[in-house]
Each structure stands twice: as C-alpha cells, then as structure tokens.
Amino acid sequence: MGMTITEKILAAHAGKKQVRPGELVNCRLDVVLANDITAPVAIREFTRLGLDRVFDPERVVLVPDHFTPNKDIKSAEQCKVVREFARKLGISNYFEVGRMGIEHCLLPEQGLVVPGDLVIGADSHTCTYGALGAFATGVGSTDVAAGMALGECWFKVPESIKFVYHGKPGRWVTGKDLILYTIGDIGVDGALYKAMEFTGEAIAELSMDSRFTICNMAIEAGAKNGIIAPDEKTKAYVEERAKRPYQLLASDPDAAYIEVREYDASEIDLQVAFPHLPENTRPVREAGGIEIDQVVIGSCTNGRMEDLRIAAQILEGKKVHPRVRLIVIPGTQEIYLNALREGLLEIFVEAGAAVSTPTCGPCLGGHMGVLAEGERALATTNRNFVGRMGHPESEVYLAGPAVAAASAVTGYITHPEEVVK
C-alpha cells in the first residue's frame, strides 16, 4: 500500500522506507521556529541543560512578532532574551523590528521553508507551511529547546483525512471561506491529531496566499498538520525564494485515508464564524446586519498581498464608517513595501484606516486593537475564543478580506456585493 504525502515526509526524515499511522518515529528537523512569547521558555530550558550551541545556526529561526514593537517593559524583556540568545549562538535567522514580519508570513517569503521539509515551531499556526508541501506542526517550548539542541523530534504518525474541493470558487471567495466552511462542517475537533490533506480543482485554482490561509487554520479543526501537494504554482513561488534544495512529493494513488470529504467550492459562499468558536460558521448573507466596532485586516492568516489587494479594491474611493475602527496590518516588511508601491496603503489611509508595521498585535489581544467590554470586532484572524482579542465580554467574528473591508464601510457585517456592484 502507498503512503500519503505526510507519511512520505515523516518516513524520509526518520530514515525509513515506510511509516504507518500510529507509529512512533524520531525524525531529523529542517527548521526549528520560535517567537517572542515561546522562545524565552525554550531558551531557559536550553540554558538549564548547560547547552552552548544549536544543531545548526541556519536552521533555527527566531521571530519576535507577537508583542512587537514592544508594547511594554515585560515584552521588551522577552525580546531582549531572544535577541541576546541569537547573537550569542550566532543564529543568522533572527528577524528584528523593521526587518521582520509575522512569522508564518515571513518564513515562506524568505525561502526558509521549502517543499518536503519537516518543521516544528513553538506556535500552533506553524501548520501554515503545509501549503508548500511541507510537514509543519506546532509543539511546546520544551520540544523546541530539544529541537534546537539536537535537530530531532519524535512524532506519532497521524492518520490522514482527504478534503477534495470540486468546482471553481465564486467571486470574492478565497481560501479563508473554504477553510471556515470546512471547520464549520467537521467542528473544531473534527480532525484531532489528523493530517488534513487539501486537494481538488478548487485548490489548484487558489493562489499561494489562499493556500497558506487554508493550511494555517488546520489547527482550528484540531489537526496535527495541514498539507497541499506542490504543483506548478508552488514551484513558481519556491524557485525564486528557496535557500536550499527541495523535494516535490505527492500522495500515492493507493494511499490510505481514514476519511474522504468532498465539497463543491462553487456552492460555498463567503463565510463568517460567529463567537466564540471557528466552527460557528454561517454564510455572510445570514449575518443579519450585526453592527461592529472594529475591523482588523491582517495576521498570519490574511495579511498577505492577495488579502490587501481585495480589501483595497473594495475600499477605494470609500470611507470607513464613522463608528468603526479599521486596522490594517501587512504580514511582512516586503508585503508592506509592495502594498506601498501599488498604492494600497494610500487607499487604506484615505478611507480612514490605521496601517501598522507587521505585528500579531490585536489577533491575540496583545496590542494595536484590544477590545473593550461589549465591543464587537470582525477580523481576518484565525481565532475568536472568549477574550481572544481583549475583554471577555467582547466578541470576535472571523471572515475573509472582502467581507472585512465591506463591513468596515457599512458598519455592520456585510456581503461585499452591497458595497461593490
């Protein structure tokens, strides 16, 4: 019997010809990642063990992005720990403010993750890199400490679920809508410790930006990883960025799946996830004109060029509703510059938006848009748990960039067709 793409990557990194679901394997790592929240814990454990060097200074990546630029003394101290560790151990892939980005936007852009890689990161949305055809998963900070030291980590091989999307997505529909619809279908534990493999002609139609969004939110269904087999779009994206050789893999025709789910993407409308779970999804037309106080366009889920272009297309020549605060956060400095060159930032500012340097900021209720009691936000982020973006009595609704931009104009959750004819 053949193997899935997830099984092939794990087998290759374990030095085995074949692996099967449930098997425990020890694998070599291609990339180990941490940020300003999780890296200090890993560094403390690393130091406690008396270690003085990492397995490969070019394979450890440290990105302060959650509370940066530093919002207070505590966050400044956290970043100082990471900065000094990177300097002391000669870690070249340390990304400081002004040269950084939101980690899961930054690493693919910099060519630090390539197809066929095995990546661990002390952040649950490390699964984003599955869009490149890599096995990428979030782990705890102590696992990252061991990974930095040894360049190895153990895994239980996950069972795979195949998600097949037929047809062509409709106008404004992006990867965010497909994954929200899917999570709404299977629930936040519907893929618990499974590999979510995304395929079908609708996936082939999607941009790389949308594919990153889909894999980014695999964790919101409880998945171990999300993955899309590389194609010509993937190859074109990687070829101009890759820092090292890569391997294009695909699942065998006779690979075994615990389940196969099929969807007609042409029938999936723009989605909104209601509080307080990503599974509480409905078509935006059923949102009932819910009034909002804040809109956030950005995050590791939807802070890429496709997202900003869609938002600018809707906002051009319009004004943000006077009751609404619109915050736009490009995912990296490169995205910021490209948006600037294309005139997108001018559109946002003229519409009445605040544009930020790259940061996770409001997504986790950190800064740059924390909600007060009773406030509602519509965000292109990935989670809407109780208190996720601020006060526990606030509410967060999740949507893609088209719905977010349109809603910023009207002041309530809106289908973009109401704003752009």
pLDDT of residue 110: 96
Show the CA angle centred on residue 276, arms to residues 271 and 279, nearest 5°. Answer: 45
The larger pLDDT score, comparing residue 94 to residue 287, is at 94
Neighbours of 207 (CB within 10 A): 15
pLDDT at 405: 98
Classify 271-418 by CATH class. alpha beta
Is residue 276 a contact partner of residue 376, using CB atoms and an 8 Å limit?
A: no
DSSP letters for 167-231:
S---TT--HHHHHHHHHHHH-TTTTTTEEEEEESHHHHHS-HHHHHHHHHGGGGGT-SEEE----
> Can you tell me whether residue 240 is helix, strand or coil?
coil
Residue 70 neighbours by CB under 8 Å, 6+ apart: 76, 79
Q: Are strands 225-227 and 259-264 parallel, antiparallel or unpaired?
A: unpaired
Nearest one of 323, 322, 339 to 331, comparing CA atoms: 339
Of 29, 87, 96, nearest to 59 by C-alpha is 29
In order of 68, 93, 389, the CA distances from 354 in angstroms are 17, 29, 17
Give pLDDT tens digits for 3-24.
999 999 999 999 999 999 999 9
Q: From CA 178, how far away is CA 263, in angstroms rounded?
A: 9
pLDDT for the residue 1: 80
Confidence of residue 363 (pLDDT cuts 50, 70, 90): confident
Q: Is the pLDDT of residue 202 over 80?
A: yes
Question: pTM here?
Answer: 0.95
User: Among residues 219, 211, 160, which one has the least CA distance to residue 6?
Assistant: 160
Confidence class of residue 154 from pLDDT cuts 50, 70 and 90? Answer: very high
Query: Which helix or strand (DSSP H or E) is residue 161 part of?
Result: strand 159-166
- Across the chain, what does the average pLDDT equal? 96
Helix (H), strand (E) at residue 12? helix 5-14
Q: Give start-end residues of each CATH 3.30.499.10 domain in the chain.
A: 5-263, 271-418
| Mean pLDDT, rounded, for 235-246 | 94
Determine what percent of the chain is predicted with pLDDT higher than 70.
Answer: 100
- Note whether 200 and 104 are within 8 A (CB): no
Section 305-329 average pLDDT: 98
Q: What is the arithmetic mean of pLDDT over 183-212?
A: 97
Query: Which CATH code for domain 5-263?
Result: 3.30.499.10
Handedness of CA 237, 240, 241, 244 (dihedral sign): positive
Look up residue 373 and give its amino acid.
Answer: E
Q: Is residue 288 very low, low, confident or very high in pLDDT (cuts 50, 70, 90)?
A: confident
pLDDT 10s digits, 92-137? 999 999 998 999 999 999 999 999 999 999 999 999 999 999 999 9
Q: For residue 287, what pLDDT is reported?
A: 87
pLDDT confidence tier of residue 221, bands split at 50, 70 and 90: very high
* Contact residues for 286 (Cβ-Cβ < 8 A; gap 6+): none
Q: What angle do CA 406, 411, 412 make, to 5 degrees?
A: 80
Tell me the C-alpha distance between 33 and 31, whole Å: 6
What is the average pLDDT across 17-35? Answer: 97
Question: Quick check: 179 pLDDT over 90?
Answer: yes
Q: Which helix (H) or strand (E) holds 273?
A: strand 271-273
SS3 content of the chain, % helix, strand, coil (to 5): 35, 20, 45
Summarize pLDDT for 40-77 with one digit per residue, the tens. Answer: 999 999 999 999 999 999 999 999 999 999 999 999 99
Cα–Cα separations (whole angstroms), residue 56 to 30, 48, 137: 9, 19, 19
